[in-house]
Copies of this chain bind each other. A is one copy, B any other.
Amino acid sequence: MGAPKQKWTAEEEAALKAGVLKHGAGKWRTILTDPEFSDVLHMRSNVDLKDKWRNINVTAIWGSRQKARLAALKRNQLTPKHDANPLAISTVVKSDEEIVDAKPLAVSGGALESVGSKERVKR
């Protein structure tokens, strides 16, 4: 139906990482129009860059927690079968305040600018 799914090449991924180093995460359109990367990434949209960056960072941080919480949630709603132990250890995952939330960024060995200067606190 829609798009045939284009796998990201190593070259594209490298360009994306370099682009983030140069312009910062979130500056997708800027990266895309930078002549340094536009050639390699010309068939990607700014949204594609954002999505790919998200995927990269998701796998890079796996190991913290919150995996358990998400997994539990999914299990709770889309696991139609079994679980035949009414006595079990109630599966309480209550202690879950701190969501790490560190700015991921773990590009190949290089220190990345910490992209967080202005917050919109208030609320």
Chain A residues within 8 Å of B, Cβ to Cβ: 1-4, 6, 24-26, 43, 73-74, 76-78, 80, 115-116, 118-120, 122-123
Contact = CB atoms under 8 A, between A and B. Distances in A.
A123 B3 CA distance: 9
Contact of A3 (B73, B78, B120): B120
A39 to B, nearest CB: 13
> How many subunits of this chain does the assembly comprise?
2
B4 A120 contact: yes
Looking at A25, A74, A115, A120, the one whose CB has the most chain B CB atoms below 10 A away is A120
Given A2-B119, A26-B1, A73 B80 contact: yes
A80 B1 CA distance: 27
Nearest to A24: B1
Contacts of A1: 24-26, 115-116
A123 B43 contact: yes
Contacts of A26: 1-2
A26 B1 CA distance: 7
A122 B43 contact: yes
